[in-house]
Amino acid sequence: MTHALFAAVLLGLVFAATPTTAQEDQSAAGLQVWRLSGCASCHGTFGQGGGGGEQPEGPSLRRTILDRDAIKETISCGRPGTKMPFFLKGAYTAARCWGIEVQEEPPAEMIGLGSLTPARIDALVDYLMTRVVGKNDEVTKQECISYFGNPNHPTCNAMK
Ligand code: HEC
């Protein structure tokens, strides 16, 4: 066996042996949801706050003072009177939002995508609570690499 191959096998064993908690798994699944749901277009890639331009400016989720429940409700139901869309499938029409009885249509003012199941929203909130909320606005290179899953991603190369 060549050294390189041996090293690769050994590395594989190390990774396979690294224990992951259920919450970490959820959080990895949540990162996928974050990436696919367009949150980053308003809130910035790392949830550090969006600069506006093409998309509405979304505030920093790293610095939010909301707790888990409030974050979940905001993502599920959107925030009335603002550009924050609702993401829960059946929000307003099958699930109560902001204490309003279910109704035939979401309120006209709400922008809604309604693209996510409750399980995907839970995973997304786990990701935010473990990796984003309360974290420094300054994203480290290591976080960047794990975000993109690529040690050579151009965005991360410039970081310390
Ligand atoms: C079209 C732009 C847009 C998209 C897409 C978007 N948001 Fe927002 N979001 C906003 C805006 C704007 C606000 C602030 C609303 C206000 O003014 O109170 C906000 C607020 C929030 C808040 C409350 C923050 C606080 O501290 O009050 C959370 C949490 C949040 N968004 C999460 C998400 C997540 C997660 C996604 C993706 C599933 C997402 N947003 C997608 C624009 C967006």
In angstroms, the CA 45 to CA 39 distance is 8
- Phi, psi for residue 86 in degrees, rounded to 5: -95, 145
CA 6 to centroid of ligand 1, rounded, Å: 47
- The predicted-structure confidence for 62-71, as pLDDT tens digits, reads as follows 999 999 999 9
For residue 58, the one-letter residue type is G
Residues 6+ apart with CB under 8 A from 87: 37, 75, 76, 78, 113, 114, 115, 116, 121
Q: State the pLDDT at residue 34.
A: 96
Question: Which of 37, 43, 72 has the most ligand 1 atoms within 8 A of CB, as the residue to mutate?
Answer: 43
Ligand 1, atom 41, lies closest to the CA of: 39
Ligand 1, atom 19, lies closest to the CA of: 84
Nearest alpha-carbon partner for 117 in 148, 155, 145, 90: 90
Contact 47, 35 (CB under 8 A): no
In angstroms, the CA 76 to CA 90 distance is 9
CA 133 to centroid of ligand 1, rounded, Å: 13
Residues 6+ apart with CB under 8 A from 115: 37, 87, 89
- The predicted-structure confidence for 81-94, as pLDDT tens digits, reads as follows 999 999 999 999 99
Q: Which range, of 2-11, 20-29, 93-102, 125-134, averages the lowest pLDDT?
A: 2-11
Question: What is the pLDDT of the chain when averaged over all its residues?
Answer: 88
Side-chain half-sphere CA neighbours of 5 within 13 A: 2
Q: State the pLDDT at residue 5.
A: 60
Contact 123, 29 (CB under 8 A): yes
- The predicted-structure confidence for 129-149, as pLDDT tens digits, reads as follows 999 999 988 888 988 998 888
CA 58 to centroid of ligand 1, rounded, Å: 5
Check pocket membership of 31 for ligand 1, CB cut-off 6 A. no
Residues 6+ apart with CB under 8 A from 56: 42, 50, 83
